[in-house]
């Protein structure tokens, strides 16, 4: 499987690179970039655009969507690396985190493995803005859970609408109506719940975030409609001046949000429109010419960061949690900033080329491997390891209680 020019827009990888860099800086030191969390919002819009675009292209060519092939591609693309990170996180938790927290962490890892951990965090009213020793090592899986839920439900609904519509125009009209309604309802719910008593939970829930992915879907529909017509809008979209203006405007909004927004604003809500609109502008900027941001977004180093952005996102948070614990245990006095960057990028490069690409492109020794079985095996490994670690913890506590009882008996006697 290779990327065709018709299906691949290079500047999208540049947008992903910007998004993941914002998240990295925010998570390492939110004081330097208090609004860096908007990188996740950017990921949502780009993902909604790409997935909806792929679905629309298949429906346009074949008249329907092959759900199983779609899901198989998503499984090969996402699950192997995510599973490796979860297994690694579990082992590091056993080695370096207080055993009293192990049951909670093992449970969170299991929720992350089945992509519902965002709802677990929401039910516990976890404060995403809080920084301290109680941070979950899989906190970043909240956004991956939302995306995976989107990858399961979105294609099913769009495939159903494609079956109902008789002509391509009617299919597109039904899909556009559905996405528009979804966007409005979810955005409304996001605003309402962001100002409720339990506003912390709204940060994590799928219902308050799906509108950001849906906006990306609307952009995909609009662009397909424009590309297939010779209207005035089509001429505007191809205009270099238009691309120049929207690229710089979009990036200026992103920069402003990164420095001016913060989680005290009860995010997401109406303010979340800003990074979403900015990302849409960047998506529309691919024909901006040399004076736009397109050459920068398509610059090879930026492209490569975009290529490994998924791995960077997967690994950066466990590195952020465990690196200080490892350095402290072994009394290593090193520059944590540069070590954090070095370890994160090294693991990401290895993950991209040794895990992601072999599964994604069926390379070499993986040609005959059943990818779904590999993921099931990974889930079993997580479950067995979690159970084993909890058994060790239980046995240890039993031995401690037994020792205490012997000590008290010896005193009494």
What does the pLDDT read at residue 331? Answer: 66
In order of 119, 124, 185, the CA distances from 198 in angstroms are: 14, 10, 19
What residues have CB less than 8 Å from 75, skipping those under 6 apart? 371, 372, 375
User: Above 90 in pLDDT, residue 24?
Assistant: yes
Dihedral sign (CA 239, 245, 248, 249):
negative
Residue 5 in any domain: the answer is no
The two structure tokens encoding residue 242: 């238009």
CA 353 to chain centre: 19
Instruction: Please provide the size of the chain in residues.
Output: 413
Answer yes or no: are the C-beta atoms of 377 and 113 closer than 8 Å: no
Question: Could you tell me which residue, 32 or 388, shows the higher pLDDT?
Answer: 32
The two structure tokens encoding residue 338: 């540069």
Helices (H), 289-370: 294-297, 300-307, 309-329, 336-351, 357-361
Residue 30 in any domain: the answer is yes
Task: Tell me the pLDDT tens digit for each residue of 205-241.
Answer: 999 999 999 999 999 999 887 766 555 455 555 667 7
Residue 205 in any domain: the answer is yes
How many whole angstroms separate alpha carbon 93 and alpha carbon 321?
10
**What DSSP character marks residue 271?**
G
What does the pLDDT read at residue 4? Answer: 44
**5 pLDDT tier (thresholds 50, 70, 90):** very low
Residue 109 in any domain: the answer is yes
Task: Tell me the pLDDT tens digit for each residue of 136-171.
Answer: 999 999 999 999 999 999 999 999 999 998 788 888
What does the pLDDT read at residue 2? Answer: 39
Domain count of the chain? 1
Q: Which pTM value belongs to this model?
A: 0.85
Residue 320 in any domain: the answer is yes
Residue 413 in any domain: the answer is no
User: Above 60 in pLDDT, residue 405?
Assistant: no
Residue 280 in any domain: the answer is yes
Lowest mean pLDDT among 69-78, 191-200, 326-335: 326-335
Mean pLDDT of 235-254: 81
Helices (H), 37-66: 38-62
Lowest mean pLDDT among 71-75, 99-103, 259-263: 99-103
Residues 298-329 as b/e (b if ≥16 CB within 10 A, e otherwise) read beeebbebbbbbbbbbbbbbbbbbbbeeeeee
The boundaries of the domain holding residue 237 are 10-408
Residue 106 in any domain: the answer is yes
User: Above 60 in pLDDT, residue 367?
Assistant: no
Other Cβ atoms closer than 10 A to 213 = 29
| Nearest CA among 282, 361, 347, 275 for reference residue 308 | 347
């Amino acid at each position: 499987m290779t990327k065709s020019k018709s299906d691949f827009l290079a500047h999208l990888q540049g947008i992903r690179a910007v998004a993941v860099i914002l998240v990295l800086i925010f998570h390492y030191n939110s004081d330097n970039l208090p609004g860096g969390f908007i990188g996740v919002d950017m990921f949502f819009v780009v993902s909604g655009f790409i997935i909806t675009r792929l679905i629309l292209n298949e429906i346009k060519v074949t008249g329907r969507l092959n759900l199983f092939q779609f899901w198989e591609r998503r499984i090969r693309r996402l699950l192997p690396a995510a599973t490796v990170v979860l297994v690694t996180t579990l082992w590091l938790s056993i080695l370096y985190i207080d055993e009293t927290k192990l049951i909670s962490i093992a449970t969170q890892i299991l929720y992350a493995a089945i992509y519902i951990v965002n709802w677990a965090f929401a039910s516990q009213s976890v404060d995403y803005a809080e920084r301290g020793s109680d941070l979950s090592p899989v906190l970043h899986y909240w956004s991956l859970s939302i995306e995976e839920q989107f990858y399961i439900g979105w294609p099913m609904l769009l495939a159903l609408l494609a079956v109902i519509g008789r002509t391509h125009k009617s299919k597109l009209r039904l899909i556009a109506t559905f996405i528009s309604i979804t966007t409005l309802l979810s955005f409304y719910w996001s605003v309402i719940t962001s100002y409720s008593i339990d506003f912390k939970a709204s940060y994590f829930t799928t219902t308050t975030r799906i509108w950001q992915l849906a906006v990306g879907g609307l952009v995909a529909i609009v662009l397909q409609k424009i590309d297939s017509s010779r209207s005035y809008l089509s001429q505007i979209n191809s205009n270099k001046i238009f691309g120049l203006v929207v690229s710089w405007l979009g990036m200026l909004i992103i920069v402003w949000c990164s420095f001016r927004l913060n989680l005290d604003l009860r995010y997401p809500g109406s303010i979340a429109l800003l990074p979403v609109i900015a990302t849409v502008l960047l998506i529309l900027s691919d024909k901006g010419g040399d004076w736009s941001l397109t050459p920068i977004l398509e610059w090879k180093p930026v492209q490569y960061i975009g290529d490994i952005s998924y791995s960077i996102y997967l690994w950066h948070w466990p590195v952020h949690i465990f690196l200080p614990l490892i350095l402290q245990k072994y009394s290593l006095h090193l520059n944590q900033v540069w070590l954090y960057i070095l370890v994160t990028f090294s693991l990401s490069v290895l993950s991209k080329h040794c895990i992601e690409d072999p599964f994604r492109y069926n390379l070499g020794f993986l040609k005959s491997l059943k990818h779904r079985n590999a993921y099931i095996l990974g889930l079993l490994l997580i479950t067995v390891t979690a159970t084993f670690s909890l058994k060790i913890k239980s046995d240890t506590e039993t031995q401690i209680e037994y020792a205490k009882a012997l000590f008290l008996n010896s005193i009494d006697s």
